[in-house]
Structure 1
């Protein structure tokens, strides 16, 4: 078993990077956190870097967040190899092999297919995390509507997803650094239950104590709505295309989170209860 002492985390202030930093620090790993934020509030002992390239010398492993790295993705992997890094853990997505027109996150900067391919072809040890939709995505899409009323408008009320808690992705990522048992695997990670948009709204209303309704809207209205909250038209189109394929079809559930962590995956209800402030403040 390879012992990794020093891990570079790109996207260290993100929804996965931040809890991953905490997991590794708790396990006694020296963490180098890459963030563009000058004061990111990392745990004691974490060394902050503004550039992944600056963090690499002497490191053993790297967490690759393609959105955070942007055009620096390929140079970072090349430099990691030069620096003697032995392991890469890539943040990809469960739909990385799908047509790009059905990958909404691509239009927010994710390069899920590329980051996995580059890690696999690097010649280094690798693990690819392929999570389903993040639970936190629903805060970004719905929080404003929930704060201002009791109706959430969106596409396809009967479409289904299996949201995964961001912290569960981070916990699996930590295992990819702390053990060798996940090496060379593409891990399809989902939440523990398939929920329609109507179900999700029911869960949110129940936890928040605020009766909510989901109202299905035409595709054009959905695209306009996404643009209103700062998402691109391409993102809205890809999100609609993705959900259209899951209408009246339960989302895939893999149970890999439970198998890897030895505990149940976090339910959407549990995640909402832990993050109420995202929907109420």
Structure 2
């Protein structure tokens, strides 16, 4: 199905609630997948969550856990039975390798009666996303979120231990998005008409510096958090000490030192698709305040 460029207006899409549908969510234990599952449940839909090991997965009540592996499409045949929507990720396996199985997965999905497919963009070209975009047998939607708000959880150990965040390029701007809003957009695209052949860039409602994020976390935890600006050399040393691979370090230097325009431009897609405003980082910080707070000392101490 060819990509369509459209002007989206608030209220353009259908009602919030739709007839109950059964949706298969892959990557269901991941940061975004968990949110897709939660949003579908909240909207009253039946959710099937794919995992490579059912015995180790924990999902909310009402979710049907099914075993399968995107790298082995045949294992999804039982999971696709009776499904109308399919949420896909672009990597799989223990080493998160790019999936080459897109054409076969889509063939099986069409045969099972799947009508709508969402795919979470992985940050660059991928064979699976290419296969989805080329398929004219389903209504597909590509989700392209910018930086996740949950990335701030990487600061939690330093904040808990020493009340500080140590970062380079502290004036960089980010339109970071709440992972729950990614899940909400996915849920709408999987269950409502009007989203086929579209690519949705997803951001939060505001541009934030590193200092803005630290201030929001300080307010949420009720305790001041210091921001220590690192030079590029100091940051590289810190990342190496933490065990980051050299290619990841190079990526961080590039994206933090020269953030792409899309990552620092606010767009209104979340509200346009879901009918509700995108959540702020202050809201996210309040939801996760416990992660940035040291456990209370026991009475015996």
Deviates more, 1:1-10 or 1:157-166: 1-10
In structure 1, the partner of 2:145 is 131
CA distances 1:94-127 after superposition (whole Å, capped 9, x unpaired): x64xxxxxxxxxxxxxxx6444322111222101
| Residue 264 (str. 1) matches residue 277 (str. 2) | yes
1:207-246 aligned at under 5 Å gives the runs 207-246=220-259
Q: Secondary structure at the match of 1:160?
A: coil
CA contact 2:176–2:263 (8 Å) conserved in 1: no
Q: Secondary structure at the match of 2:264?
A: coil
- Distance in 2 (CA, whole Å) between partners of 1:249 and 1:26 is 30
In structure 1, the partner of 2:4 is none
Matching residue within 39, 45, 51 for 2:62: 45
- Computing the radius of gyration from Cα coordinates, the structure with the larger value is 2
Contiguous gaps of at least 5 residues in structure 2: 1-13, 70-75, 295-301
In the comparison of the two structures, how many residue pairs are matched? 264
CA distances 1:238-266 after superposition (whole Å, capped 9, x unpaired): 02101211499991000111222222211
| Residue 165 (str. 1) matches residue 178 (str. 2) | yes
**CA gap 1:263/1:269 in 2 versus in 1, 3 angstroms:** same
- Distance in 2 (CA, whole Å) between partners of 1:248 and 1:186 is 17
1:133 Cα offset (Å):
0.5
CA contact 2:147–2:263 (8 Å) conserved in 1: no
CA contact 1:191–1:265 (8 Å) conserved in 2: yes
Contiguous gaps of at least 5 residues in structure 1: 97-111
- Distance in 2 (CA, whole Å) between partners of 1:274 and 1:209 is 13
CA contact 1:223–1:233 (8 Å) conserved in 2: no
CA contact 1:207–1:273 (8 Å) conserved in 2: yes
- Distance in 2 (CA, whole Å) between partners of 1:82 and 1:231 is 43
In structure 1, the partner of 2:11 is none
- Distance in 1 (CA, whole Å) between partners of 2:132 and 2:261 is 35
1:191-206 aligned at under 5 Å gives the runs 191-206=204-219
- Distance in 2 (CA, whole Å) between partners of 1:147 and 1:115 is 39
TM-score with structure 2 setting the length: 0.78
1:215 Cα offset (Å):
2.2
Matching residue within 94, 113, 129 for 1:84: 113
- Distance in 2 (CA, whole Å) between partners of 1:29 and 1:40 is 20
In structure 2, the partner of 1:55 is 79
Runs of 4 or more, structure 1, over 6 Å off, are 1-4, 247-250
